[in-house]
Amino acid sequence: MNDTFLKACRGEKTDYTPIWMMRQAGRYLPEYQKVRGNITFLELCKNPELCVEVTLQPIDILNMDAAILFSDILIPMEAMGAPLEFHDGQGPVFREVVRDQAALNRLIVPDADESMPFVMETIRLLRKELKVPLIGFAGAPFTCATYLIEGGSSKVFWETKKMMFTAPELFHGLMDKITRATIGYLQAQARAGAQALQLFDSWAGVLAPCDFEEFALPYVKRIIAALQQFDIPLIYFANNGATLLELSVSSGADVIGLDWRLNIGDAIARVGNKAVQGNLDPFSLLLPEEKLRARIASLLDDAKDAKGHIFNLGHGIHQFTPPEQAKIAVDAVHELSRKR
């Protein structure tokens, strides 16, 4: 069992810096494309055997130090009663947007084991196969709420901010319901065998710090508090979160995910006595080998004072990234961090 990732999360000494990549199971891998060729994305998410197969691909092919459950942050939104569709080239779509009290009332707080048995089954199957730790995950409530309110992906978040500022009680009501669903969902993942849990707050960075503090952070804190009983590392990743870093630390998470807009050394000084995860610009995987290795060397060097460092990208790997380039990065992290 390679537990380097878990040790780094706990701030313990490791022989080398562990690495995994957000969205490491996905379309940049021809092996994933092959599985996905025959079925839709949602069918894939609900098929435990195939979820196991695509979760294992980046471990076997790229030698990652942790696996992340193959699923999507919007699966529990569907379990809450919001019909979910994925369209190629467009991403997720919720036709029934949540913009008033009646729509909020129609959402339920599901029993995770009953409504998403395929997720828990995937976790149990993976734990039998894996020789690296398994990370479970959920979307953070603010990020999930944007999808329900906007009806899909957004650039300006007009409807979300309109609700926050003109109907704050409705907004808080939605956040509360998503939070309760997320707590049940992550607790079920931990019971099924997830060895760490990550909250993805992909859109937190569109909020002013005061609004993040009022409308988003209290719900992240509630989730983290409700998971303490499992004694597994909790990772909070607020994308585009440079201005939110101190607030993110106050969430109570054990590991703070960093996007690439921050210098990791500066971030570590601000985070203090906690492990960090990140933060290579996903697009820098396109650099020629020597430059990519040099960039990784300097990132490792900048992170040398961290209480624990898990190497990762600063956001998900892009779908057109050549897998050979990702492999160069993994090998470089393993090799260069051993030398130090």
Please identify, using beta-carbon distances, which residue of 25 and 120 lies nearer to ligand CP3.
Answer: 25
Whole-angstrom distance, CA of residue 235 vs CA of residue 20: 13
3-state secondary structure of 252: coil
Cα separation, 165 vs 317, whole angstroms: 34
Q: Which of 233/336 has CB closer to ligand CP3? A: 233
The verdict on 316 binding ligand CP3 (CB under 6 A) reads yes
Residue among 41, 157, 230, 283 that touches ligand CP3 (CB under 6 A): 41
The residue with tokens 């980046």 is 58
**23 in a known ligand binding site:** yes
Where do runs of H (alpha helix) occur along 193-318?
209-211, 217-226, 245-249, 264-271, 289-302
Q: How near is the Cβ of 47 to ligand CP3 at its closest, in Å? A: 13
Indicate which residue of 16, 28, 32, 147 is catalytic.
147
Query: Catalytic: 295?
Result: no
Please check if 26 is assigned to a binding site.
Answer: yes
3 state SS of 67 = strand
Q: How far is the CB of 277 from ligand CP3 (least distance, A)?
A: 13
Other Cβ atoms within 10 Å of 15 Cβ, number: 10
Q: Which of 200, 219, 260, 311 forms a contact with ligand CP3 (CB under 6 A)? A: 200
According to DSSP, the β-strands at 91-94 and 255-257 are: unpaired
216-247 burial, b at 16+ Cβ within 10 Å, e below that, comes to bbebbbbbbebbeebebbbbbbbbbbebbbeb
Judge whether 32 counts as a catalytic residue.
Answer: no
Shortest distance (Å) from residue 269 CB to ligand CP3: 26
Instruction: Kindly state whether residue 48 participates in binding ligand CP3, applying the rule CB under 6 A.
Output: no
Annotated active-site residue 23? The verdict is yes
In the chain, beta strands by DSSP E: 67-68, 84-87, 91-94, 134-139, 196-201, 234-238, 255-257, 275-280, 309-313
Closest to ligand CP3 by CB, 216 or 336: 216
228 is in an annotated binding site: no
Is 297 within any annotated ligand binding site? no
313 binds ligand CP3 (CB under 6 A): no
Residue 199 β-bridge partners:
138, 236
> What x/- string results for residues 228 through 267 when contact with ligand CP3 is judged by CB under 6 A?
-----------x----------------------------
Is residue 95 part of the annotated active site? The answer reads no
Over the Cα atoms of the chain, what is R_g? 19
202 is in an annotated binding site: yes
Longest pairwise C-alpha distance within the chain: 60
Q: Does 27 bind ligand CP3 (CB under 6 A)?
A: yes
315 among annotated binding-site residues? yes
Is 100 assigned a catalytic role? Answer: no
Q: Shortest approach of ligand CP3 to residue 155 CB, angstroms? A: 12
Distance, CA of 267 to chain centre: 19
Under the binding rule (CB under 6 A), the answer on residue 191 touching ligand CP3 is no
For 46, the 3-state DSSP assignment is coil
CB of 23 to ligand CP3, least distance (A): 4
Residue numbering of the annotated binding site for substrate: 23-27, 72, 147, 202, 315
Active site residues: 23, 27, 36, 72, 147
- Give the residues lining the site for ligand CP3 (CB under 6 A): 22-27, 36, 41, 68, 70-74, 91-92, 137, 153, 200, 202, 239, 316
